[in-house]
Amino acid sequence: MQETIKNRTIFCKDNLDILEGINTETIDLVYLDPPFNKKKVFTAPIGTSAEGASFKDIFTEADLKEEWVQEIREDWPNVYELLNAVKNIEGRSSYNFCYLAYMAIRLIQCRRILKNTGSFYYHCDPTMSHYIKLLLDCIFGEKKFKNEIVWHYETGGIPIKDFSRKHDYILRYSKGKEYIFNSKDILEERSEEVLRRIATGNETATRSKGQYRHPSDVFKIPAINAMARERVGYPTQKPLALLERIIKASSNEGDVVLDPFCGCATTCVAAERLSRRWIGIDISVKAYELVQERISNMYEIRQGKLEEGELSKIYFSTTAPTRTDDGANAKDQKYVYIISHPQYEGEYKVGIASDVKSRLSSYQTSDPNRDYKLEYKQLTEHYRALERHIHNQFDSRQEWVRAEMQEIINAMKSYRP
Ligand X SMILES: C[S@@+](CC[C@H](N)C(=O)[O-])C[C@H]1O[C@@H](n2cnc3c(N)ncnc32)[C@H](O)[C@@H]1O
Dist. CA 29–CA 180, nearest whole Å: 10
Binding footprint of ligand X on the chain (CB under 6 A): 14-15, 33-35, 55, 234, 236-238, 261, 263-264, 266, 281-284, 287
Q: How far is the CB of 121 from ligand X (least distance, A)?
A: 11
DSSP code at position 51: T
**Residues 262-298: b if buried by 16+ CB within 10 A, e if exposed:** bbbbbbbbbbbbbebbbbbbbbbebbbbbbeebbeeb
Tell me how far, at minimum, the Cβ of 318 lies from ligand X, in Å: 12
CA pair distance 145, 173, nearest whole angstrom: 4
- Closest separation in Å from C-beta 253 to ligand X: 22
Nearer to ligand X, 99 or 348 (CB): 99
Q: How far is the CB of 120 from ligand X (least distance, A)?
A: 15
Minimum CB separation of residue 272 from ligand X in Å reads 14
Nearest residue to the partner ligand X, using Cβ: 263
36/173 with CB nearer ligand X: 36
Distance CA 104, CA 26 (A): 20
Which H helix or E strand runs over 98? helix 95-113
Residue 48's contacts (CB-CB under 8 Å, 6 or more residues apart) are: 231, 232, 233
Is residue 42 helix, strand or coil?
strand
Nearest CB to ligand X, comparing residues 281 and 401: 281
* Integer Cα distance of 338 and 365 in angstroms: 19
At 67, which helix (H) or strand (E)? helix 66-75
Q: Taking the complex as a whole, how short is the minimal distance between the CB of residue 148 and ligand X, in angstroms?
A: 19
Distances (CA, A) of 281 to 181, 231, 263, 391, 392: 25, 20, 8, 41, 43
Query: φ, ψ for residue 320 (rounded to 5)?
Result: -70, 140
Nearest residue (CB) to ligand X, 17 versus 185: 17
Minimum distance of ligand X from residue 160's CB (angstroms):
27
- If the CB atoms of residues 210 and 222 are measured against ligand X, the closer one turns out to be 222
Q: Which is nearer to ligand X, 139 or 258 (CB)?
A: 258
Tell me whether residue 249 or residue 283 sits nearer to ligand X (CB atom): 283
